[in-house]
Copies of this chain bind each other. A is one copy, B any other.
Amino acid sequence: MRNAKPLPGSLVQRYHGWRATTFAENASWYRRLATEGQRPRTMVISCCDSRVHVTSIFGAEQGEFFIHRNIANLVPPYESDGARHGTSAAIEYAVTALRVSQIMILGHSLCGGVQGCEAMCSGHAPELESPDSFVGRWMDLLRPGWEKVRGIEDADERREALEKEAVLTSLDNLMTFPFVAAAVEAGDLALHGLWNDITQGGLEIYDASADRFVAL
């Protein structure tokens, strides 16, 4: 027998609450989304972190955001090797099938994945160097970012700089996807880099002309 359990009663109750209120009030819109298909304007790539829900920050309605969430909001570079690439599949679907108009990379403060990367790269987390470590191998994507910020003396500044490097890495890697680059160059797709300060509720956006993050 498969390993699967009933849902906690509090979640069952909450679901019924949602259905009787939010769903009921939006039923005709949901039905239209169902019959006509989704048509999101935006793809969001954000972190799994339970403290950063992009639908809350932007008051998103059903149907607006196509959302991929992974550890540290990272996009790997384009690799056409016939292997399995979950993040790349999400991007491909968003850009080529849904033809979203924008991709938002949303990083954040106090990111556990980024902290792991820093610990690994600075020699304090040998277990993350193991080939067996999924988190370690995933955070390898941010090693070049680490090289750029490792000289920053203040620990908090260095951490924040690395979190922002995760956003920039993803922006750069996005452009290695031929279909992304083509859509950006045709003016059909805009990329955005954002960083959320959990503590203060702040949001900074990467300003390409100034090459730095500025408060919204």
Q: Which A residues have a C-beta under 8 Å from some C-beta of B?
A: 1-41, 43, 48-51, 53, 55-71, 74, 76, 80-94, 97-99, 101-102, 104, 109-110, 112-113, 116, 131-135, 137-141, 168, 171-172, 175, 183-184, 187-194, 198-199, 201, 203, 205-209, 211, 216
Contact B206 A4 (CB under 8 A): yes
A54 to chain B, nearest CB (A): 10
Give the interface SS of chain A, mostly helix, strand, loop or mixed. mixed
B41, B48, B57: which contacts A90 (Cβ < 8 A)?
A: B48
B57, B85, B99, B110: which contacts A138 (Cβ < 8 A)?
A: B85
Q: How far is the CA of A37 from the CA of B50 in the complex (A)?
A: 10
B5, B55, B90, B175: which contacts A3 (Cβ < 8 A)?
A: B175
Chain B residue contacts of A76, Cβ below 8 A: 84, 86
A179 to chain B, nearest CB (A): 10
Contact A22 B13 (CB under 8 A): yes
Closest to A43 in B: B48
Q: How far is the CA of A139 from the CA of B86 in the complex (A)?
A: 9
B10, B20, B21, B66: which contacts A49 (Cβ < 8 A)?
A: B66
Given known A-B contacts A13-B59, A199-B34, A70 and B86 have beta carbons under 8 A apart: yes
Closest to A127 in B: B96
Q: How far is the CA of A216 from the CA of B43 in the complex (A)?
A: 30
Q: Can you sample 18 A-B contacts with CB below 8 Å?
A: A2-B172, A2-B206, A5-B190, A8-B22, A15-B57, A16-B17, A17-B20, A19-B203, A23-B201, A26-B101, A32-B188, A50-B63, A53-B67, A59-B59, A85-B138, A89-B139, A93-B113, A93-B135
Contact B133 A83 (CB under 8 A): no
Chain B residue contacts of A64, Cβ below 8 A: 50
Contact B20 A140 (CB under 8 A): no
